[in-house]
Structure formats: structure tokens, C-alpha cells
Amino acid sequence: FLKHSEYFKQSSSKTREYLLPKGTAENKKVSDIIKYEILVVEPDDDLATAADLMSKNNISGVPVVVIRNNKLDGIVTKADVVKAFSQVVTHSKLLENYKTFR
């Protein structure tokens, strides 16, 4: 049994064979395998909405779409969510700052 990295070292032309094993329909379209319910968030949705959508649907990213003109604005990923939440000030720090400015 070869690791996939070793498999590709043998021949770069085997990529298609690796991704589409024999017996797989070679003319299969993306539309044949996608879910029909497209999950999206809008630019004004809060980050928790995107995080909840990804968590509940076991996906690693969600398109950000401007609904009024049906235009892709970007993609928010789990890594984006983790990075954003890691920069949020803790509740105790907020209380400390509040007491300082009061």
C-alpha cells in the first residue's frame, strides 16, 4: 500500500487515475454530485451564523453571497472563524476594562 504522496512520485500522469478510479464515469459533471441546497451566508451575517452553518453541516467553508445581485463576495472558512474568535477579548478582560473606565 502506497501513501498518496509516494503514488504521485511514481508518475504525475496518475493523478486522474487516482482521483477517478477505473469504472468511474469519466464524463460525470459536478452537478451530478453536488447537493441541491446551496448553503451560503450574506456579508452582513454575523460570524456565529457562518460557524453554526459549518458545524451543523460538517463543512469547512461557506460562500459569502450578496443575495440582491447573486454575486460571490468571498468564502469564509473554519480557519477564518477560529482566527476571528481567538482575537476576541475574554469576558473577564471586558469586565476589567469596564471597571477601569467607569
The pLDDT, as a whole number, for residue 63 is 95
Q: How far is CA 43 from the centre of its chain?
A: 15
What domains lie within the chain, and their CATH numbers?
Answer: 32-101 (3.10.580.10)
**Confidence band, pLDDT 50/70/90 cuts, at residue 21:** low
Residues 52-96 have pLDDT tens digits of 999 999 999 999 999 899 899 999 999 999 888 777 767 677 677
Q: Which grid cell is 19?
A: 482521483
What average pLDDT does the chain have?
78
Instruction: Name the residue with higher pLDDT: 72 or 22.
Output: 72
Three-state DSSP state, 80? helix
The pLDDT value recorded for residue 23 is 63
